[in-house]
A = this chain, B = another copy of it.
Amino acid sequence: MSVHAIAAVLSGQIPPGSRLTVQGWVRTRRDSKAGLSFIAVHDGSCFDPLQIVVSAELSNYRSEVLHLTAGCALRVRGELVASAGKGQTVELRAESIETIGGIDDPETYPVAPKPHSFEYLRTVAHLRPRTNSIGAVARVRHCLSQAIHRFFHERGYFWVHTPIITASDCEGAGALFRVSTLDGLNPPRTPEGQVDFSRDFFGRETFLTVSGQLNVEAYCLALSKVYTFGPTFRAENSNTSRHLAEFWMIEPETAFADLHANADLAEALLKFIFRALLEERVDDLAFFAQRIDKTCIHRLEQVVNTPFERMEYGEAIRILENAGETFEFPIRWGVDLQSEHERYLTEQHVGRPLVLVNYPKEIKSFYMRLNDDGRTVAAMDVLVPGIGEIVGGSQREERLTVLDARLDEMGINKIAYNWYRDLRRYGSVPHAGFGLGFERTVSYATGMSNVRDVIPFPRTPRSADF
Write the residues of chain A forming the contact surface with B, with a CB cutoff of 8 angstroms: 3, 5, 7, 23-26, 43-45, 71-73, 75, 100-104, 109-110, 125-127, 129-130, 135, 138-139, 141-142, 145-146, 149, 153, 156, 158-168, 175-182, 184-185, 187, 189, 193-195, 201-204, 206, 208, 215, 218-219, 221-225, 230-231, 233, 235, 237, 245-246, 248, 255-256, 398, 400, 419-420, 422-430, 455-457, 459, 461-466
The answer to whether A164 and B231 touch across the interface, beta carbons within 8 angstroms, is yes
Q: What residue of chain B has the Cβ atom nearest to residue A400's Cβ?
A: B104
The answer to whether A73 and B427 touch across the interface, beta carbons within 8 angstroms, is yes
A459 → chain B closest CB, angstroms: 5
Which residues in B have their C-beta under 8 angstroms from that of A23?
224, 255-256, 429
Which of A25, A103, A427 has most B Cβ within 10 Å?
A427
Q: What residue of chain B has the Cβ atom nearest to residue A3's Cβ?
A: B256
Given contacts A45-B156, A126-B422, A225-B45, contact A466 B179 (CB under 8 A): no
Copies of this protein in the complex: 2
Q: What residue of chain B has the Cβ atom nearest to residue A227's Cβ?
A: B142
The answer to whether B223 and A71 touch across the interface, beta carbons within 8 angstroms, is no
Contact for A180 among B103, B180, B255, B456, CB less than 8 A: B180
The answer to whether A202 and B246 touch across the interface, beta carbons within 8 angstroms, is no
The answer to whether B44 and A223 touch across the interface, beta carbons within 8 angstroms, is yes
The answer to whether A463 and B165 touch across the interface, beta carbons within 8 angstroms, is no
The answer to whether B429 and A464 touch across the interface, beta carbons within 8 angstroms, is no
A427 → chain B closest CB, angstroms: 4
- Known contacts A129-B219, A177-B180, then 10 further A-B pairs from the complex at CB < 8 Å, ordered by chain A residue: A5-B224, A139-B158, A145-B159, A161-B456, A163-B466, A165-B464, A182-B184, A201-B235, A202-B459, A215-B466
The answer to whether A126 and B423 touch across the interface, beta carbons within 8 angstroms, is yes
The answer to whether B163 and A146 touch across the interface, beta carbons within 8 angstroms, is no
Which of A126, A455, A462 has most B Cβ within 10 Å?
A126
A237 to B158, alpha carbons, bound, how many Å? 31
A231 to B225, alpha carbons, bound, how many Å? 22
Contact for A181 among B43, B156, B177, B459, CB less than 8 A: B177
Which residues in B have their C-beta under 8 angstroms from that of A135?
222-223
